[in-house]
Every structure is written in C-alpha cells, then in structure tokens.
Amino acid sequence: MLEKTEENDLDSLKQELSSLRLKHFNTDTPPKLFHYTDARGVLGILGSQQLWATHALYLNDTTEICHTQGLVEEIYLSLIDQAKPDDKAKLDFNNPLWIYRDFLHRLSYQTARVKPNPDFFVACFCEKDDLLSQWRGYGNRGFGYAIGFDTKRLSYPNNTFELRKVIYSVEEQKQIINEILEAVIASLKRMTNTMNVDSADSIAEAHAHIFEEEITKYATFFKHPTFHEENEWRLIYLPIENAYSNQMKYRGGCLGIIPYVEVDLPNGKNNIASIRIGPTVQPELAKKALEMLAGIKYPNLDISSSAIPLR
C-alpha cells in the first residue's frame, strides 16, 4: 500500500512523462492526410461521416507491438548487464543497486509477470494519395480509393484521440524509450533513497507499471523501418476504462473476428476534401459514380484518378 506522499510523487512522474510525450510528438501536421480503402469503405465513410478505428492488436501488421517490446528487451539486457554487483554489493542487500536491478527485471518480457495490455484503437492515414504500396496493401490491390481529409478539421477537443506521425527510425525509438526510462529511474531512486529491496517492492512495482503503460502508448506509433515508405500517421483512440464498451463492434477479417469502434468525424462532411481513384479502376466510370454519390452533400469534393500505369 502506497502512502499519500508516494502517490503524489507518482502523479508528478506521470505529469513529467505526459510533457515528454508532447515533446516527442510535436510535429507539424500536413494539410491533408489520406486513408486508403475499398469501395465499401468509401460508401461507409461518405454515408456515415465516420471512420472505423481497429483494435491495435488486430492491425494488418501483427508484429507492431512485438517490435516495441523487442526494443525494451534489448535495452533491459544492456542495462542489467551494466548493473552487475561487485563482490561488496553481493553481500549488502541494503545497497540501492538491488532495488535498481529488481526494477529492471520487472521490465523484461521474458518473465511471467503480467504486462499492461490496454485497448487502443487505430485509424491509419498516409501523407501521399497515390502510393503503389498503399494501393496494394490497403486500397484493395488498386481497386480502391484514397480519401483525403482536411487535418485542420480532424481534431478532437476532448483529447480522447491523438493524431501522430509514425516513427520508423530505430535509433529515434530507442532514444525515446531511454528518455522515458531515465525519468522513471530518477523518480524511483528519489523515492527509495533510504529503503532496502523489500521495503521498496511496492514502489518499484508502481514505477514498472507506469513505464509499461507509457510505452504501450508509444508502441502504436513505432514501426519497423522497412515500412518507412508508408509515411503513416495514426489517429489513436485512447478510451477510458469501460467507456467504449457500448460502442464496440466486430467485423470479419484476415485475423478472424476484428474488434473496432466507429469514430465520428469532428466536423462531419467538412473533413472530407478529396478522393483519389485507384490505378486498376476504370477512371471514367468510377468518377461518374463518385460524382453521383457526392451529389449536393459534397459539392466541392475533389475527385481524381491515380497516375500509376497499372491498368
């Protein structure tokens, strides 16, 4: 059981990490971002003025969360190796080194300790509206559409959603993880300055939990560098516990049953600025159908065709 002063210190750490997150994601947003989808997706988005945000564990790239976990494990192995006790410390269990090592061991994904696994939901965007890899991966193999959104209008006042640029550089990802870890370790050392391993157990556990929860927020924005061509941005839904339960829906997909939530566009039809027709669709017929669909509801919709010669 933590004391009130300890809870206050942990709250200060969370505020520090929140400020650090704002610094890491302080990136200028492009004027437009594009969502690749198929004909059914276009009909759904234009008709409902909603996006579908997919549960982060059910995205097309199932290795995404594992990528960040691997980085944490690599950093843990390096730090625990650097913190080997000397002969004197091996006999002194009041040495602060043991508290530090105990904390580090809690971070390893090779232990049986349960890790936080919050429910995040993701809607994906690209900086480019005519990218071959995106057509193949997300635009129905070229038979799809790239919907352009006005990002100035794609903002949510209640801070339930975060629009962030995906980070592909492993060096930058490790730097961010280390900065988070440095802040957490500094707090741990301040709070356990006069304690031994046993008395520091609950505080070490609380710090490990805070670190892990913070890392899960970044894991949705960290991707392997081989995906860098996607130039991806993500709208992340961070629901309060049980707040989304009445919104949860399910659809079929390549991973079986896929959980998702419907996200209202904050400015309705004014968010949708353009649609690019995929390279394997007949452009004249597709454009005519879109113009008929848009009608008076989307009078200023910019409709164009892919320049990729793939027909």
CA 304, CA 307: separation in Å to the nearest integer? 9
At 120-139, the pLDDT tens digits run 899 999 999 999 999 998 88
E strand spans, the chain: 32-37, 50-55, 121-126, 145-150, 161-165, 232-237, 249-253, 256-264, 272-277, 302-305
At 45-100, the pLDDT tens digits run 999 999 999 988 888 766 677 899 999 999 999 999 999 888 776 777 778 899 99
**Kind plus residue range of the DSSP H or E element containing 211:** helix 201-219
Q: Which residues contact 114 (CB under 8 A, 6 or more apart)?
A: none
**Residue 78 identity:** S
- Residue keyed to tokens 């860098």: 228
pLDDT greater than 90 at residue 241: no
What are the angstrom distances between the C-alpha of 274 and each of 164, 213, 300?
21, 37, 8
Residue 1, pLDDT score: 66
Do 169 and 226 touch, CB atoms closer than 8 A? Answer: no
At 158-200, the pLDDT tens digits run 657 788 999 999 999 999 999 999 999 999 999 999 898 999 9
